[in-house]
């Protein structure tokens, strides 16, 4: 499918005037190319005309994004104020009206996300076309110019609005007597997760639509540790970096996970943006048809300054116990955490495990706080 047709299909009719005028810019590039060949335009004059035109398009798209964002922020603030004024909602008509209002906000947030995605795709394509047909390079200038625009760096703004919308959905469910049972989140020590997973592919352009559909039923999970992972202005996505350990000569851990061998483990060190701890995580593959159990993820955290000594074996069990006692962990928690600590350290030392691969990505999680019965991650 050509981009012009794609743009036509994806454009929201009432916003049609504010999308990139892709056809106009494409025709300008074709005209520039022809006039260069005939010698009727100098490259300097042509480039001035093109940069002026694309600058106007960038400003048009960005100004409209800011306008819709401001409108959305105001509606979310008004909705939050309305919900705060009510102690319960028992009227079926009011419930239906409230749900419809929130769903319209969700739809508009999805539309705004698609607006930014479609327009930025259009700008990238038009600049690529410009560079190819004119023998001039505009990409570096264009990228720097776009970085100054809110719509280009809109993931934080859109994520913040999603968090606010999710909070409104959650509060509305509580007012309607459909509250989720949240539990206290325990930090530090050993943490275990048993889970069965199902995975799906989602197109990038559909990410916000999927997120808003999930937010109707599960809240965005915002980690509330004192070691904050988010900026003051909350957004839905956390930046996560993981370093996987393996034996570079045999890749035995990778092979075991790839073949889904019963009991195969993955060992990684994970850091969350803004966090002050490093999580040591062990994932163990369990074939449910063999044992009836689910795969397990276990983890404990270390201070970043202790990680190097831990993998060398010089950070001992007694040092770890001291850290846990300083954090006032129970004897049972200490016992469980120490067991995992010693097993992870033993595997690293005995199997000559070294940092082998690093992954980094943004992740949005949906989950009732402290209740991992249902968890959705994107």
- pLDDT at position 149: 85
CA angle (348, 352, 353) in 5-degree steps:
55
Tokens for 240, please give them: 């996560």
Rounded to the nearest 10°, the torsion over CA 138, 140, 142, 148 is: -160
What pTM was computed for the model? 0.83
102 with 79: CB under 8 angstroms? Answer: yes
- pLDDT at position 188: 55
Question: For the purposes of burial, counting CB atoms within 10 Å of the CB of 70, is it exposed (0-12), middle (13-18) or buried (19 or more)?
Answer: exposed
CA nearest to 166, candidates 116, 203, 129, 216: 216
- pLDDT at position 148: 83
Query: How do the pLDDT tens digits run along the chain, 378 residues long?
Result: 689 999 999 999 999 999 999 999 999 999 888 888 787 888 788 888 888 999 999 999 999 999 999 999 999 999 999 999 988 888 887 889 999 999 999 999 999 999 999 999 999 999 999 888 888 888 888 878 877 888 887 888 999 999 999 999 999 999 988 766 665 555 555 566 666 778 899 998 899 999 999 999 999 987 644 444 444 567 888 899 999 999 999 999 999 999 988 889 999 999 988 788 999 999 998 876 555 556 788 999 999 999 999 999 999 999 999 999 999 999 999 999 999 999 999 999 999 999 999 999 999 999 988 777 888 999
- In angstroms, the CA 280 to CA 191 distance is 10
**Domains in the chain, start-ordered, CATH in brackets?**
3-176 (1.20.58), 237-377 (3.20.100.30)
- pLDDT at position 87: 84
Q: How many CB atoms lie within 10 A of CB 262?
A: 12
DSSP state for residue 292 in the 8-state scheme: S
Query: CA 84 → CA 77, 80, 264, 298, distances in Å?
Result: 11, 6, 49, 39
- In angstroms, the CA 12 to CA 34 distance is 34
- pLDDT at position 357: 95
- pLDDT at position 222: 78
State phi, psi for 327 to the nearest 5 degrees. Answer: -95, 10
- In angstroms, the CA 218 to CA 352 distance is 42
């Amino acid at each position: 499918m050509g981009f012009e047709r794609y743009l036509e299909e994806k454009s929201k009719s009432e916003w049609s005037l504010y999308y990139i005028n892709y056809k106009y810019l494409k025709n300008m590039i074709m005209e520039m190319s022809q006039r260069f060949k005939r010698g009727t335009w100098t490259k300097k004059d042509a480039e001035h005309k093109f940069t002026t035109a694309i600058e106007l398009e960038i400003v048009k798209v960005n100004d409209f994004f800011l306008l819709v964002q401001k409108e959305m922020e105001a509606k979310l603030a008004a909705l939050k104020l309305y919900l705060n004024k009510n102690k319960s909602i028992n009227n079926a008509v009011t419930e239906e009206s409230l749900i419809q209002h929130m769903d319209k906000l969700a739809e508009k947030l999805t539309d705004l996300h698609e607006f930014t995605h479609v327009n930025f795709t259009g700008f990238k394509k038009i600049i690529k076309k410009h560079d190819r047909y004119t023998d001039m390079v505009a990409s570096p200038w264009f990228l720097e110019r776009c970085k100054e625009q809110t719509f280009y760096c809109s993931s934080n703004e859109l994520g913040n609005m999603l968090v606010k919308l999710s909070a409104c959905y959650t509060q509305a469910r509580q007012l309607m007597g459909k509250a989720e049972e949240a539990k206290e989140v325990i930090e530090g020590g050993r943490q275990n997760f048993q889970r069965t997973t199902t995975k799906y592919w989602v197109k990038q352009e559909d990410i916000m639509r999927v997120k808003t559909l999930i937010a109707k039923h599960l809240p965005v999970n915002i980690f509330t540790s004192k070691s904050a992972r988010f900026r003051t202005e909350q957004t839905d996505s956390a930046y996560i970096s993981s370093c996987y350990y393996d034996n570079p000569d045999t890749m035995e851990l990778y092979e075991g996970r790839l073949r889904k061998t019963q009991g195969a483990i993955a060992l990684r060190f994970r850091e969350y943006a803004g966090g002050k701890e490093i999580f040591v995580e062990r994932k163990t593959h369990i074939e449910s048809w063999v044992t009836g159990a689910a795969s397990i993820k276990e983890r404990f955290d270390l201070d970043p300054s202790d990680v190097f000594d831990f993998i060398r074996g010089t950070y001992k069990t007694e040092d770890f116990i001291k850290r846990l006692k300083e954090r006032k962990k129970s004897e049972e928690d200490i016992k469980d955490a120490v067991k995992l600590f010693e097993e992870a350290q033993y595997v690293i030392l005995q199997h000559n495990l070294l940092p082998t691969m690093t992954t980094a990505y943004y992740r949005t999680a949906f989950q009732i706080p402290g209740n991992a019965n249902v968890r959705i991650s994107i």
